[in-house]
Structure 1
Amino acid sequence: MSNIDIENEEIDLLEPELEDGETLSPHDVKFWKTTYETNKETGKARLKSITINKLKLLKVFFLLGFRRLDIDDQSTFIRIENNRVIKRITINQVIDTFFEYLDEKDFWFDDEKSLNLDMIKEKFITSPGSYFKEDKLYRLNLFTKEKIEFNTDTLNEKFLYYKNGFVRITKAGVEFNDYSKLEKYIWESEVLTRNFTFTKYENSYVGQFVNKICQSEAADVGDRIKALKILMGYYMHSFTDCKLMALMLTDSKISEENEANGRTGKSLFCKILGYMLSRNPEKLDVKTFIDISGKNFDPKEKHRYQDVGYETKIVVLNDLKKYFDVDCIYNDVTEGVTVERKNMSPYRVKPKIILTTNKTVKIEGDSSKDRFLEFEFSDYFSKKRTPEMEFKHWFFRDWDADQWAQFDNYMISCVQDYFVADCKLMEPEHINLNARKLKENTAVVFLDFMSDLKIQFNQWYNKAELFSAFIRRYPDYDNQKFKQMHFTGWVKLYTKYMPEFEEFKKERDEKRSDDVIEMMFRKASNVEDEIM
C-alpha cells in the first residue's frame, strides 16, 4: 500500500493510536510533510518539497527529554535523563542529540524511495536557525503542565545519589533505595560515579586522615575529632534554611620567622567534602563544589562568584590573603552569594562557605564571632610528610571499590553525627590559635616586654608611661609610624589572647583624669593574682 496520497499531495501527520499503558516516543512523531508532483510522461510521483512542521518537531525535542527550566527569572535548557536526572544543556547539544536520533530512527518513507534521510538532514543543515532558535525552544513546555521540582535535603534528611541508587540519611538510620522511589528530580552533577554498598569504615583512609589532623597535646583529641566530624556532616547537609556558618581552616604551627608552614592537609580536607557532593570536584565544568583562589579573590569585584551555579552546595575560598577581613563576606555566609556573569542577569545561590589560610584571620564583633568557626590543623602533615607519603597512594585516584565504600560510609557517619547533635555545631578546641594570633598581630619584642612587666591585677597603669617604657627598651619603635594607639591596641590584644587575662573593656578598664589615661588589667578565673 502506498504511503503517498497523490491526490492530496501530502502525508498525514497524525500520531499513532496507543494501547493502554503505552507512552508516545519521539520515533512515533512524524514532523515533516512531503509534497509530490506527477510526471506527465511516466505518471509517477516525484518529490517536489519537504515541509517541517515546527510544532511536531518541538514535540520530538520534548519527547527526547528537553525542557525549559525557569529559576529566579532565568531560563535555561535542560534534558531529563534516566527518568529523574537533569542535565543542563546548550542549543548545540540539542542539535547533536536530534541528529543522533535521526540516525537511530527507522523512518518510513514513500514506496518509491524518493525521500531519504539525507534529504531531511539537508533540510535542517541548510537553515538551522529556523528550527533551533531560542525563541522556539522556549516553547518546549507547551506539552506539559508538570512543574520540575528538585529533591533536596530537608531539616532532618540528607540524600546522596549513586549510580545504583540513592541513600537517605536521618538521625534514626541510613536507607538505600532504588531510583524508582525517588519522586523528584536531581541534577546530573549530584550523581556520584560509583556504586554504593554498606561496609565497615573503621580503617578508612579518610578516618585516619581526620584523626591525624586533629592530633594535639594542648587539647582533647577526641573532642576535636567529634567537633570536626559534626562540621563535615554540616557541610554535606545541603539544607540552608537554618543558621549558616563558615569554617575557617588554619594551621596550628608557625615558624620563628612568622611565616606560615602550610601543607597541613587543608586543601585535601575540602576535596574530601567535594567528592561526596560532586561527580568530580576537580573538573571545572562541575558546579556542585567550587574552589576559588583566595589570593585573587576581591570581595568588591562583581564577578567574584561567576563560577557558582544554581546547584552549587559548597564554595571554598582557598588560601586567603594575609589580613583578610571576614566581615566583607558576612552577608555571603548568612544570606547567600550573588552570581553575576557576562551577558546574564544576576541570580542568588545559598551555598555553604569554607575559608582556608596559612595565617590567622581577624574575626571581630559579636556577629562575626557567631558566624565563623576556626579549626587548626595539627602539624602532623607538612611538605616533608604529605598524605601521599603517609598513605602510600593518592586519595581518590588510587582507590578501589572497597576503599570508596569505606570512604562513603565514614562520611555518612559524619552526617549522622551531625543529626544526633541536633544539627548544632561544636566549637573545636584550639591548639595554639590565640598565641598565633597574638604573635602575628603584634611583635615578639612586645610579648617579651609584657612578660617582663610582671603585671599586677586590679591596679591602674598609666598608658603613656607604659608606652614610653616600651620605646626606651626598643628604640627602633620610636618613630612616627608607631604611636601610642598602636601600642595600646597591642595591649588590648594581649588581654584578649593570653589565657591569664580577662579581655579589656574600655568602659570598665580605662579611666581619664585631666590628661592622664590609666588602664587596669583583670585576671581570668582560676589564675593567681600575679603573673610570673
Structure 2
Amino acid sequence: MSTLSQVWSQVEDLLADGVSLIPVRDKKEGDREAKTPYNLWKQYQSKIITKDELWREMEGRNTTAIAIICGKISGYLEVIDVDVKYKEGVAGTLFTLMEKGFPELFAKLRIHKTPSGGYHLLYRVANPPSAFPGNVKLAGRYATEEELALRPKSKTYNFLETRGEAGYILCPPSMGYGVHADNEIPLISWDDRCNLINICRSLNELIEVKSTVKASKKEFDYYSENPFDDFNNRGDIVELLNAYGWKNHISHSAKYLYFTRPDKDKGVSGSFHSEHRVFWAFTSSTDFDENKGYKPVDVLLKLQFAGDTKKLYRHLVDLGFGTVKPSIEQQVVKHQASAKKALPKNFSVEAHAEYIRVSEQLKEDHPYDVFIKYDVDEEKYTVSREALTYVSKMLGFRYFDGDLVKIDGFTIKHVDERYYQDEMKAYIHEEDADEYEHLCNIYENFIQKNGKFTIQRLAKLDESLVLTDDKDICFKFYQNGYLTITADDISFNDYDDFPYLIWEHKIQPRNYKKAEGGKFLEYLRLAVNDFEQASKVMGYLSHEYKDETTGFIIVLTEQCPDPKQGGGSGKNVFCNLLKLTTTYTSKPGAQAKFDEKFFQSWDRQKIFGISDVPKNFDFLFLKEPATGSFIWKKLFKDEVEVDVKDAPKFIVQTNYSYESSDGGLKRRIIPLEFTNFFTLAGGLDVHFGCHFPNGWTEDDYAGFDTFIANSIQKWMQGGNKLHAGELTDTGWLKQWEQTYGNATPFILEYWDEWVINGYVTNDAFKSNMESHFNENNIQKHFWPSSTKLNAAIIAYSEKNGMHFKKDVPKRIAHKLTKCRVFFKDGHETVQDEETLPF
C-alpha cells in the first residue's frame, strides 16, 4: 500500500483544481467499512479543506484515501457513477453512445476508473440551476431470480447514478482508483450536462411505461394481435416523431435512438429503445410527461389524436396494423362484402382474396344488393327499408291502383302479397344453413310488422310505358308477336327490341297466323240474325278502349218468342269466346243487387257480362257506368272511383228482352239477336261434334284471330260507333212486351177490333180494359197507367204501319164522343157515324 507521501502530489493537484476533498477510510475500522468518510466530512460541504488540514487529518487517521465532495463547493461538480458490477458491459455501451453522440464533449471529460471496473465521469456545470441537483439514480435494472433469493428486499439494482450536491466520490490515488482519461475537470453547459444525463437515462430498464391504450375484450376476441400491440411491435416511431418535429439526427445505435425536441436544434430530449419499444421523454417541455416511458401507440395517440382512442384505432386499422383471427375474418368478409364495404386493411391477403370471391358470388346471388344489412359495429342485422324498396323495384315489383304488380321482361302481371313476400324471401341466399335461417327470421319478423306499408311504398307503375289501345289503334298480343290494327292497316310484328310493357294476361297462349274461315265463323253465321252487326259488336268489345262516347250496352237476345223455350242458342259461347281476345268476367243477372256491391266480382276485366238476366232486370243501373265513372267497392278494400277509360264494356244475356222507354238508355243499348238454330240442333257440341273452343284446330284459332282483327278494323272504320239494328218481328214483340208489361196482352186482345173499326170510344176502351184485367185477375193497382197504355199503343201502331191519336172528338148517335182512332197514311180524317151509308 502506498504511503501518504507517495500519493500527496496527486492530492495537491486535486486541491489545486478547486475541489473539496475529505479523507475516507482505506480499510475497515471496527464496524465501519472502507471507503466511508469520517464524520468531519459534512463541514467540508460548505468550505474547502486546506492543504495543511487535509494532511493532518489523513496522517492522523493513517489513511491514504480521499473523496471529492460534489456540488457547489467544488465548483458545481457533478459525477456520473458507472457501476459495472450491476450491469456488465454498460460502460462500453455508455461511452460509445456519448462518444458518437457528443464526441467533442466526451473527449473533454475527466474519467476515473474504480477498483471494481466501474467509472466516474467528472465535469463542472457552467450555468447551473439555483438548486443544484443532488445524487440522482439514472439507470437500473430489476433483480434476477438468483439475486432475489439472496436479497429478497432488493428488487432493483442501479448501475448509473450521479453524485451531486451533498454527494461524494472516492478518487485516485485512493485504494486502486485510477485515471482513465486524464483531463482537467471540464466546465460544460447545463444543456451539455443534460445531454449526458439523458443518454444515461436511456439505458434505464426501470422505466415507468405510461400506457393509456388497452385493447378491449372485444378486440382480444377479434385479434390474435390487436392493432395497438402490432403498432407497438413494428410501428415506425422515427417517422412518427419526425413528422411532429422531433429530430433524430444524433441516433447512432440500432438499439438506442435519440431525439431532439421540436423547439431545439440539438441535444437529447428523448430516446427510443428499439428492443423494449419504449419512448422516453427527458424533459417536461413537451406533450410528454418527463421521465415516463411511452409505447409507440401512446406516442401516436398523444401526438396525432389528442387522446381519442377510437380515431387511433381506425387509423391503425387503415394502416394495416393488427392480425385478425381467421375465424373472424371469415365472418367479416361475408358481412363487408354484403354491405359493399371494403375490408379493413389489416385483413390478410387470403381474406382479401376471399372477399373478392364472396363479392362476386353475392353479385351473382344478389344482383341488386342485399336488403338485410349487417352492422359490424353493432354486430347485428337489420332490414334496410331503402334497400328493400330498391331490390323490389329491380325485381319488377310495382304499386298500381292499390294492387301489387310485377314486371317480368316486357310483361306485367297482377300478384298478391304472399307472392311478393315469397319472392323477396327467395332473394335471400346464404350458404350457411344457420345463417340463412337467421336471415329468414329477421325478414319474416320485419314483413309481419311492416308488410302492408312496405308494399304501399313500392315504386308506382309508370303507365306511360304500358302499351294500350287508344281510339284509333288497337293491339293484340300473341306468343310470336303482336298485331297493330288501325282503320287503314293491320300489321304483325315480333317482339324484338320491344320498347313497351304489356299486361301478361293480354298475351294469348298461341301463335298468330292469318287465315280465313273456321268453326267460329260458321257458328256466328248460324247463331246470329245479323252477321255484319255481330262483327261490329265483336270489334267494339275486342277493342280495349273506352270513353264517354263508346259506352254501349250489348244485349244478347233471342228470336224465340217465348223466353221459356229459349236457351242453347249460343249466347254464352259468344261471351266466353271473348276471353280469347280480351279479358271477360260475368255474374248471374238473377243475383245482381243494384248497389255498391254490384261490381265486387269485377277485377279490371275489359268486359263485364251479366248472364241470364230476368225479365225485370234494371237496365237503367248500367246507364251511368256505361258512359262515365263509377264507385268500385272491392271486397275488404276501400272504395275507389273508376274512370271511364278503365271501366268495362257491358254485355247482357237474356232470354227476354229489354225496356226501351228511357231515351238515353235506348241509344246505348245495342241488341244482337240469336237464332234458334242451335236450340233446335241441341247445342253447339251436337252440331260441331266438340265443345268451343276445346275442339278447335290451329286453323280454327287462326280464323278466329283474323276475324277479330277485321272486326276491330270495321269498328274503327265505322267511326267507333254502333247503331242498333232492326229487331226481327219476334224480337221486337218481346222487347215491346217487356217494355210495356201487362199493357200488351190487353192491346193484342182488342187490336184487330180497333183497327177494323178505325176507332174505339174512350168509354168502350175503358170498359174493354176493365173487362180484360178483371177476367185475368189483375188487381187494379197493377193496371197500367193511361200514359203507359197510350205509349204501348203508339209503339205497336208504328210497328204495324198505323197511326194512332187519342181523344179525337167523333159524333156517334147524334152525340159528340171522344175516341182513340187508328188510321194509315192518307186516311187521317174519319167520318162521323151519321154520314155512313149503312
Q: TM over 0.5: same fold?
A: yes
Task: Specify which of 543, 546, 556 is matched with residue 237 of structure 1.
Answer: 543
SS at structure 2 position matched to 1:87? strand
The normalised TM-score by structure 2 is 0.50
Which ranges of structure 2 fall in alignment gaps of 5 or more residues?
Answer: 1-323, 343-355, 357-362, 832-838
Matched with 2:570 is 265
Matched with 1:41 is none
Q: For each residue in 1:416-440, what CA deviation from the matched residue of structure 2 results, as whole angstroms up to 9, or x when unmatched?
A: 2212222222433322222233456
Aligned pairs (5 A) from 1:357-372? 357-372=654-669
- The 2-side partners of 1:139 and 1:469 are apart by 72
- The 2-side partners of 1:470 and 1:275 are apart by 52
Matched with 2:685 is 388
Matching of residue 214 in structure 1 with residue 214 in structure 2: no
Aligned pairs (5 A) from 1:42-441? 49-69=380-400, 71=401, 75-82=402-409, 84-102=410-428, 116-125=432-441, 128-131=444-447, 133-141=451-459, 149-180=465-496, 182-198=498-514, 200-202=515-517, 204-215=518-529, 224-241=530-547, 242-255=549-562, 259-277=564-582, 288-299=583-594, 301-309=595-603, 311-341=604-634, 342-348=636-642, 349-382=646-679, 384-432=681-729, 433-438=731-736, 441=741
- The 2-side partners of 1:145 and 1:466 are apart by 67
Q: For each residue in 1:176-204, what CA deviation from the matched residue of structure 2 results, as whole angstroms up to 9, or x when unmatched?
A: 12234544322222221112122x222x1
Q: For each residue in 1:214-235, what CA deviation from the matched residue of structure 2 results, as whole angstroms up to 9, or x when unmatched?
A: 34xxxxxxxx211111111011
- Report if aligned partners of 2:631, 2:639 keep a CA contact under 8 Å in 1: no
Greater share of helix: 2
| Pair 139,520 (structure 1): closer, same or farther in 2 beyond 3 Å | same
Matching of residue 14 in structure 1 with residue 340 in structure 2: yes
| Pair 413,125 (structure 1): closer, same or farther in 2 beyond 3 Å | same
Tell me by how many angstroms 1:496 deviates: 0.6
Same amino acid, percent of matched pairs: 19
Tell me by how many angstroms 1:118 deviates: 4.5
- Report if aligned partners of 2:659, 2:736 keep a CA contact under 8 Å in 1: no
RMSD, aligned CA: 3.8
- The 2-side partners of 1:525 and 1:172 are apart by 48
Tell me by how many angstroms 1:52 deviates: 4.3
| Pair 201,129 (structure 1): closer, same or farther in 2 beyond 3 Å | farther
Task: Specify which of 494, 517, 523 is matched with residue 824 of structure 2.
Answer: 523
Tell me by how many angstroms 1:271 deviates: 1.1
| Pair 154,384 (structure 1): closer, same or farther in 2 beyond 3 Å | same
Matched with 2:74 is none
- Bigger Cα displacement from structure 2, 181-190 vs 289-298: 181-190
- Bigger Cα displacement from structure 2, 464-473 vs 237-246: 464-473
- Bigger Cα displacement from structure 2, 150-159 vs 175-184: 175-184
Matched with 2:31 is none
Letter in 1 for 2:766: F
- The 2-side partners of 1:315 and 1:146 are apart by 26
- The 2-side partners of 1:237 and 1:7 are apart by 59
| Pair 511,58 (structure 1): closer, same or farther in 2 beyond 3 Å | same
Which ranges of structure 1 fall in alignment gaps of 5 or more residues?
Answer: 18-22, 38-46, 108-114, 216-223, 278-287
- The 1-side partners of 2:781 and 2:451 are apart by 66
| Pair 473,343 (structure 1): closer, same or farther in 2 beyond 3 Å | closer
Tell me by how many angstroms 1:148 deviates: 5.3
Matched with 2:761 is 462
- Report if aligned partners of 1:492, 1:503 keep a CA contact under 8 Å in 2: no
Tell me by how many angstroms 1:25 deviates: 8.8
- The 1-side partners of 2:777 and 2:384 are apart by 86
- Report if aligned partners of 2:629, 2:641 keep a CA contact under 8 Å in 1: no
| Pair 54,520 (structure 1): closer, same or farther in 2 beyond 3 Å | same
- Bigger Cα displacement from structure 2, 426-435 vs 448-457: 448-457
- The 1-side partners of 2:375 and 2:678 are apart by 76
Matched with 2:27 is none
- Report if aligned partners of 1:320, 1:356 keep a CA contact under 8 Å in 2: yes
- The 2-side partners of 1:397 and 1:483 are apart by 49
| Pair 503,250 (structure 1): closer, same or farther in 2 beyond 3 Å | farther
Tell me by how many angstroms 1:136 deviates: 2.8
| Pair 526,170 (structure 1): closer, same or farther in 2 beyond 3 Å | farther
SS at structure 1 position matched to 2:591? coil
- The 2-side partners of 1:398 and 1:35 are apart by 62
Task: Specify which of 367, 371, 377 is matched with residue 27 of structure 1.
Answer: 367
Tell me by how many angstroms 1:126 deviates: 5.0
Tell me by how many angstroms 1:51 deviates: 4.5
Letter in 2 for 1:140: L
Q: For each residue in 1:77-112, what CA deviation from the matched residue of structure 2 results, as whole angstroms up to 9, or x when unmatched?
A: 221012x2111222221222234334xx6x6xxxxx
Letter in 2 for 1:59: Y
- The 1-side partners of 2:384 and 2:790 are apart by 80
- Bigger Cα displacement from structure 2, 430-439 vs 144-153: 144-153
- Report if aligned partners of 1:250, 1:356 keep a CA contact under 8 Å in 2: yes
- Paired residues in the alignment total 469
Q: Which has the higher contact order (CA 8 A, sep 6+)?
A: 1
- Report if aligned partners of 2:806, 2:820 keep a CA contact under 8 Å in 1: yes
SS at structure 2 position matched to 1:295? helix
Q: For each residue in 1:274-304, what CA deviation from the matched residue of structure 2 results, as whole angstroms up to 9, or x when unmatched?
A: 3211xxxxxxxxxx311111010111x2211
- Report if aligned partners of 2:552, 2:649 keep a CA contact under 8 Å in 1: yes
- Report if aligned partners of 2:520, 2:700 keep a CA contact under 8 Å in 1: no
| Pair 184,497 (structure 1): closer, same or farther in 2 beyond 3 Å | farther
Letter in 2 for 1:365: D
- Bigger Cα displacement from structure 2, 493-502 vs 346-355: 493-502
Letter in 2 for 1:518: C
SS at structure 1 position matched to 2:577? helix
Q: For each residue in 1:50-94, what CA deviation from the matched residue of structure 2 results, as whole angstroms up to 9, or x when unmatched?
A: 44444334332222111223x3xxx32221012x21112222212
- The 2-side partners of 1:265 and 1:411 are apart by 18
| Pair 34,425 (structure 1): closer, same or farther in 2 beyond 3 Å | closer
- Report if aligned partners of 2:633, 2:639 keep a CA contact under 8 Å in 1: yes
